Structure formats: structure tokens, C-alpha cells
Structure 1
Amino acid sequence: MIDKGLLASSPVRARNGLTLYSALDDVVCHRVRLVLAAKGVPYDLVPVDPQAPPEDLIDLNPYQSVPTLVERDLVLYAALVVTEFLDERYPHPALMPMDPISRARVRLATLRIEHEWVPQVQAIQMGNKSQADAGRKRLSELLTASVPLFKASKFFLNSEMSLADCAIAPIIWRLEALNIPLPKDGKAIEDYGNRIFRNPGFARSLTEAERKLRVLPE
């Protein structure tokens, strides 16, 4: 559960054992918050403006980046590292398949989302008009190419929710706000998103800024 009282206070170390330094509207930070919500792990949230990181984050993380997770003397950064740590540290429910081939597929899918999808979102949100237009075009192409994957399983590449879903669901949540229409045969993407968005854990993962991006399905 997010300690919302911290949203208006100075950064402090976690009373619950975990502190997450996170931007309040960011697909990569949302990915980590979604893992924490899926696990039901309490943590303290320290809101960060990436353009003006707080002094303690500068001391903790040489890259001054978010998300950054702190557990006592352990400091982790980079979403891939943080999410895999959380899945191993809090093993129930598991967000990685048991067999090595399926795990490798989830890792590869997550890596492709990180390297291909996320930069398009960032270009739309932070780039100039030309960059934003190019980002929308490319993200639309990626969605269209991925329709068969959304149709193939209940979740992305799996019958159960995985770390790949935690990476892609924050992007699907933002499509309307990014002005990205679904492909003509994109009902599978809409249905996929609604399955995740109806989960109470997803609502817990949202900051107030992210709640305003669209309406949660009933």
C-alpha cells in the first residue's frame, strides 16, 4: 500500500522497510509500482521530479534516476533489476514462469518493451512535435504488430500475469492520454487492458496523476 501521506512531505526512509523513489507519471516507475501492488507489499513512496532529484537520491544512486528502491542498506535502480529482485524477494504471487524457456521469453519480451515501446512514450510526452508524431506512429505500428500476441493468451505471452505485463500494462493505460488509437482489430488489446485494470492491485499502483489519465473499468 502506498503511504500517500508522504506525497506532500519531505523524503524520509521507509517505516515499512521499503522506500521507492518514483516519478508520479512515468511508465517505468509505474512498472515497479505495479509489481509492488501485485505482491501486496507495503512501501513508502518518495515522489521525485526527475529534473530536480532530491539530495538523498543523489547520494543513493549515482545516476540519480527513478525508480530507485531502498531496503535498509540495499539500494537498487533500473526497473529490470528492481522488478526481478521484488519477484524473488516476495515470491507470492510469482510473476515469472517456473520453466527456464518461459522465463527467458518473458525477459526478452520485457527487454523489447523497455527498448522499443518505452522510448516512444517518452518521445510523445517529452519530445518536440516532430518527435512526438514519430513516437505516435511507431507506437501504433508496435501495437498493430503485437495484436496476435494479445490474442494468443489471457496475459502477454502467458496464461498468468508476469513481469512482462507489469511492463506493458502502464503503456496500455496511457494510450488514450497519448492520443494513440487502437488498431482496427485491437479489441484483444482493449480486453487485455481491462482484465488488468479491473484488478484492485492495478488501482493501488496508480498515483493521483495517473488516475486522471483515463477511467478505471467497472
Structure 2
Amino acid sequence: MITLYHAKECPFCARVRIVFEEKRVPYKSVEVDLNAPPEEVSRLNPRGLVPIIEENGFVVRESAIISEYLDDRFPEPSLMTWLPEKRAKIRLLIESCDADFLGPFYRLRQTRREEEQEKARAAIMPVLEYLSRELKGKKFLLGNFSMADIAFAPWMIVLDRLPGLGREQIPEPVAAWIEALRARETIGSDPYWQGLLAREEPLKRAG
């Protein structure tokens, strides 16, 4: 059985848990305290970050890499698809999330300076406009639920809690997508989202 080292409050770990649940693949759960990770985590990942999966000495780290590995290892239901064009599109969307969206998301979440918040919102809006175009006429980014949706989900489901980004500032296709993400059982039941519903605190960043 695969062992997953993770933290309930880590959005990157939520990505991987969602993939496990979508695949209905059982795993051994090892919860990690992000403030005091055990030596085992540092042994498996020199960066000391989670999520990590391990099976019979084989170790994979980084949420996007773990997610794609799980999709290859357990191909049904497919979250990456086998069509080269769609796989490329999914990877481009994941890259946009990690490279273009997460930085300003965390700046907006963490700063109290109005000027810095405005800069962060200005950086987020082009990503939302890009996603709005991709979502036109679709419930999810590729039509069917995919790894691209999972990549964005832990942050998108709290987007309207960010300063100055209420429902009225979010493009309608993105707002409808956010509601669809929240309604999906594998996302709505994840401890990350459940924890956020129970409390309001800055999101912790792992890796």
C-alpha cells in the first residue's frame, strides 16, 4: 500500500488527497505537523516538505508530480486523458496555476498593505480572465473533471475570501466553476476545505 505523508491544512497535500479519492485508491495516511516535521520527512524529501508518497522504497514528492504519477499508476478514471493535445492543455493550466496564480494569491492573502493588495489583485485578474475563456460553455476546464481542476481547486474554493475579490469581482464562468468545485464530493469532503469552513486563518504554504 502507498503511504502518503501529508498535513490536513496543506493545500498542496489536498491536491494529492483529491486524486486518491477520485481514483478510490486506499493509502496509509501519515499526518505531519508542518511546524515540526519528523526526521522521516527530511529523509524522504531533503526540502522537508509534504506531500510525499512512498511505496516499497520508491519515493515521489511534489504535488503535481505525485498526481500525474498516480494517474499513470491507476489509469481509471483518467484525470489526464490519453489525448496528447488535452494532456498538453492540462499541463499548461497546471503551470499557469503554479507560476502565475499562487504567488499573487499568497501575497493578497498575507499582506495588510492596501497598495500591495492592489498589485496582487492586478496580477490575479489576467489568470482569472484566462480561466474564464477556457471555461466558456463548460462546467470544468476541459469539460470533464480533470487534473487541471484539481491543481487549482484548493485555492479557488477560497478565492472569494480574499480582500477585494468578492463574487462580483470574479468573472461569472470562474464563479460558477468555483461552486462546481466546492460541490464535488472529493473536494468538499477534504479536511483542508472542512478545516477552512471551521475557522478563518491565513493559509499555510508547504510544497
User: TM-score of the superposition, structure 1-length normalised?
Assistant: 0.78
CA–CA separation in structure 2 for the residues paired with 1:71 and 1:182: 43
Alignment size in residue pairs? 197
How much has 1:18 moved relative to structure 2?
A: 2.3
Counterpart of 2:161 in 1: which secondary structure?
coil
Identity of aligned residues (%): 27
Q: Which amino acid aligns with 1:116?
A: D
1:116 aligns with 2:100: yes
Q: Does 1:64 align with 2:76?
A: no
Cα distance in structure 2, aligned partners of 1:132 and 1:77: 32
Give the superposition deviation at 1:112: 1.2
Unaligned runs of 5+ in 1: 1-16
Question: What is the Cα deviation at residue 136 of structure 1?
Answer: 3.7
- Partner Cα distance (2:36, 2:140) in 1: 36
Contact 1:176 1:213 in 2 (8 A): no
* Alignment pair present for 1:194 and 2:166: no
Using a 3 Å threshold, how does the CA distance of structure 1 residues 66 and 121 change in structure 2: closer, same or farther? farther
Q: In the alignment, which of 3, 13, 25 is matched to residue 29 of structure 1?
A: 13
Residue 210 (1) aligns with residue 196 (2): yes
Aligned pairs for 1:1-150 (under 5 A) are 17-126=1-110, 129=113, 134-150=119-135
| Structure 2 gap segments, 5+ residues each | 201-207
Return the alpha-carbon distance in structure 2 between the equivalents of residues 185 and 210 of structure 1: 20
- Structure 1 residue 167 corresponds to structure 2 residue 151: yes
Indicate conservation of the 8 Å contact 1:125/1:178, yes or no: yes
Distance 1:66 1:107, change over 3 A: same
Structure-2 separation of matches of 1:54 and 1:132: 35
- What's the offset of the Cα at 1:55? 1.3
Encode CA deviations 1:50-107: one digit per residue, 9 max, x unaligned: 3432111011111111211122311111112100011111111100122111111111
Q: Note the aligned Cα RMSD (angstroms).
A: 2.5
Task: Using CA pairs under 8 Å that are at least 6 residues apart, name the structure with larger relative contact order, 1 or 2.
Answer: 2
